[in-house]
């Protein structure tokens, strides 16, 4: 794929060894990214860039540090690596630091993940502008539209990694996304707005551009006349697009570092029924054309399918090599790839009918969670659910609780995965949720 990147990574390791490192892991990367933005009938921004970088992890005298640079001038690279090794030596030794052992990368998966579409590199200005026009026309097709911005984003990234103990890997992926953001005149000075973006690794994964623009418009239109909903305790239906970020908050402390550092509500619960039986989540790096698919992680650990939660029971967390040794856990992988939430049997309509009365959340606004205790509070917008149907749009509300408690009251799971995210989540229904509003 790219001999040059591989040579750069190998060269950096040689330099590090020469400077006195006992081990090193290097990644050389390059990318091309193109961005077209089109607003209200006119091309507004064209950005076309190529970028390069080198990152290097250094192990010397029982010490460790990591470094990166975009300056690949050969002379300066040499002093960069020399500085990196010298800096490592100025630190304190750490018995838990060790380069990723060979057993963790011996068996890199070999299947084709289909992450590269040669067509992406051949996209031209005409095609991108044609998409922009189609998005723009569909997104502006309403008298309330003040402004709509369409965007097309595509590119290719490549990297090669190598280590002093024999790791060698290459990663290449393309992406192509487009979508629209629409702002409508609402009551007084208020504007209603929303967006819709679609994309994937292959151009053929893209839906019809006009349909995407239209969806953005429709999402904005249902926001018109939004008002503050009531303060109450009720059921919460989170739509599949908003569910991804809620799942992300739940999983954020599901890693060896947070656990070892005593800052995780996941600590000490491996094998426990911590959440509702409706909840199963798998980290799956091997999905064909997956947005975060990979054959190895940033430390070189071979990718494999990792069950995180199975019917509410905690099966695994993310464990990298360092915190694995420090916390006495087997390394799994240090970082999430694609997170797949197991679907249920219900359509969105079924879920609305079953909830009957409650709140339908379509997006979040701000908020946070404490990873030690799981206490959370999030701003939201969406709709009231009235007699099993989507009712009046609401906003300026918060939902507050504890993540462990919330996910133990996950009652129903939809069958409607949102595909345009690396967290593949369906709609979710929770009972007895605290809402604050008017």
Told to check if 3 binds another protein by CB under 8 A, we report no
Site residues for another protein, window 146-165 (CB under 8 A)?
Answer: 146-147, 149, 153, 155, 157, 159, 161
Give the interface segment with another protein, choosing from 77-85, 134-142, 343-351, 383-391 (CB under 8 A): 77-85
DSSP per-residue string spanning 50-82: EEEEEEEEEEETTEEEEEEES---HHHHHHHHH
- Exactly one of 45, 106, 288, 311 binds another protein (CB under 8 A); that residue is 45
Nearer residue to another protein within complex by CB, 146 or 353: 146
Residues with Cβ within 8 Å of 223's Cβ and at least 6 positions away in sequence, in order, are 184, 186, 192, 193, 194, 381, 393, 395
- Interface residue with another protein among 1, 7, 61, 93 (CB under 8 A) is 93
Tell me the C-alpha distance between 316 and 270, whole Å. Answer: 7
Instruction: Pick the closer one to another protein by CB: 167 or 175.
Output: 175
Q: Contacts for 46-49 with beta carbons within 8 Å, 24 or more apart?
A: 46/125
Beta pairing class for 23-39 and 42-60: antiparallel
**Partners of 145 in beta bridges:** 184
Q: Among residues 81 and 278, whose Cβ is nearest to another protein?
A: 81
Can you tell me which of 12, 13, 80, 281 binds another protein, judged by CB under 8 A?
Answer: 80
Does position 18 bind another protein by CB under 8 A? no
- 395 binding another protein? (CB under 8 A): yes
> Virtual CA dihedral for 10, 15, 20, 23, nearest 10 degrees?
-20
Please identify, among the stretches 86-94, 135-143, 271-279, 349-357, the one whose residues bind another protein according to the rule CB under 8 A.
86-94
The DSSP secondary-structure symbol of 318 reads B
Is 377 a binding residue for another protein by CB under 8 A? The answer is yes
Restricting to residues 289-348, name those near another protein by CB under 8 A: 291-292, 294-298, 326, 335, 337
Here's the x/- map for another protein, 192-231, by CB under 8 A: it reads as xx-x-x-x-----------------------x--x-x--x
Given the complex with another protein, which of 164 and 226 has the nearer CB atom?
Answer: 226
Least distance (Å) from another protein to the CB of residue 29?
5
Residue 70 in the binding site for another protein (CB under 8 A): yes
Residues 322, 66 contacting (CB under 8 angstroms): no
Question: For residue 434, which of 367, 382, 359 has the smallest C-alpha distance?
Answer: 359
> Distance (Å, rounded) from C-alpha 220 to C-alpha 84?
50
Nearest in space to 321 (alpha carbons), one of 252, 251, 257: 257
Shorter beta-carbon distance to another protein: residue 10 or 292: 292
Question: Pairing between strand 191-200 and 168-185?
Answer: antiparallel
Figure out which of the listed residues 1, 7, 49, 288 binds another protein, where binding follows CB under 8 A: 49
Does 22 engage in binding with another protein (CB under 8 A)? no
Q: Which two tokens stand for residue 305?
A: 């399918």
Among 397, 403, 424, 429, binds another protein (CB under 8 A): 397
Q: Compute the distance between CA of residue 59 and CA of residue 88 in angstroms, rounded to an integer.
A: 7
Q: Which residues contact 221 (CB under 8 A, 6 or more apart)?
A: 142, 144, 184, 192
Q: Which is nearer to another protein, 189 or 345 (CB)?
A: 189
Which residue's CB is nearer to another protein, number 163 or number 278? 163
Supply the DSSP string of 167-218, one letter for each residue. Answer: -EEEEEEEEEEEEEEEEEE-STT-EEEEEEEEEESSGGG---HHHHHHHHHH
Q: Taking contact as CB under 8 A, which single stretch among the options 181-189, 202-210, 340-348, 352-360 is the one that binds another protein?
A: 181-189
Give the gyration radius of the chain's Cα atoms.
24
Count residues contacting another protein (CB under 8 A)?
119
Of the two residues 315 and 326, which places its CB atom closer to another protein in the complex? 326
Binding residue for another protein (CB under 8 A) from 379, 409, 411, 431?
Answer: 379
**Interaction pattern, residues 259-278, with another protein; x per rule: CB under 8 A:** --xxx---------------
x-or-dash string of contact with another protein, 101-130, rule CB under 8 A: ------------------------x-----
147, 168 contact by CB (below 8 A): no
* Backbone phi and psi for residue 398, each to the nearest 5 degrees, phi listed first: -120, 155
């Amino acid at each position: 794929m790219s001999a040059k990147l591989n040579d750069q990574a190998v060269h950096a390791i040689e330099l590090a060894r020469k400077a006195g490192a006992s081990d090193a892991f290097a990644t050389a990367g390059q990318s091309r990214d193109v961005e077209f933005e089109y607003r209200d009938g006119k091309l507004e921004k064209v950005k076309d860039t190529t970028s390069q970088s080198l990152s290097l992890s250094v192990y010397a005298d029982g010490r460790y540090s990591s470094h990166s640079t975009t300056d690949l001038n050969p002379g300066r690279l040499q002093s960069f690596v020399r500085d990196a090794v010298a800096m490592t030596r100025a630190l304190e030794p750490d018995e838990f630091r060790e380069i990723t052992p060979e057993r963790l990368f011996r068996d890199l998966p070999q299947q084709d993940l289909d992450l590269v579409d040669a067509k992406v590199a051949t996209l031209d200005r005409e095609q991108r502008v044609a998409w922009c026009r189609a998005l723009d026309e569909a997104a502006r097709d309403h008298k309330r539209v003040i402004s709509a911005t369409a965007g097309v984003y595509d590119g290719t990234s490549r990297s090669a990694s190598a280590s002093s103990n024999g790791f060698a890997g290459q990663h290449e992926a393309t992406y192509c996304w487009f979508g629209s953001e629409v702002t409508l005149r609402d009551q007084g000075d208020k504007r209603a707005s929303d967006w819709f973006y679609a994309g994937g690794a292959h151009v053929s994964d893209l839906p019809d551009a006009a349909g995407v623009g239209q969806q953005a418009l429709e999402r904005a239109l249902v926001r018109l006349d939004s008002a503050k909903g009531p303060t109450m305790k009720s059921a919460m239906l989170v739509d599949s697009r908003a569910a991804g970020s809620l799942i992300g908050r739940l999983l954020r402390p599901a890693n060896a570092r947070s656990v070892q550092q005593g800052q995780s509500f996941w600590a000490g619960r491996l094998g426990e029924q911590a959440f509702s039986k409706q909840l199963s989540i798998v980290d799956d790096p091997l999905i064909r054309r997956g947005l975060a698919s990979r054959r190895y992680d940033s430390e070189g650990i071979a990718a494999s399918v990792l069950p995180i939660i199975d019917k509410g029971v905690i099966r695994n967390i993310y464990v990298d090599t360092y915190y694995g040794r420090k916390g006495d856990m087997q390394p799994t992988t240090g970082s999430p790839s694609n997170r797949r939430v197991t679907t249920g049997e219900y359509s969105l309509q079924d879920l609305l009918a079953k909830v009957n009365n409650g709140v339908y959340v379509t997006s979040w606004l701000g908020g946070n969670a404490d990873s030690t205790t799981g206490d959370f509070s999030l701003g939201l917008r969406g709709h009231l659910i009235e007699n099993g149907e989507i009712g009046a749009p609401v906003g300026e509300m918060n939902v507050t609780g504890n993540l462990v408690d919330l996910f133990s009251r996950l009652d129903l799971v939809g069958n409607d995965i949102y595909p345009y995210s690396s967290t593949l989540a369906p709609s979710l229904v929770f009972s007895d949720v605290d809402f604050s509003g008017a």
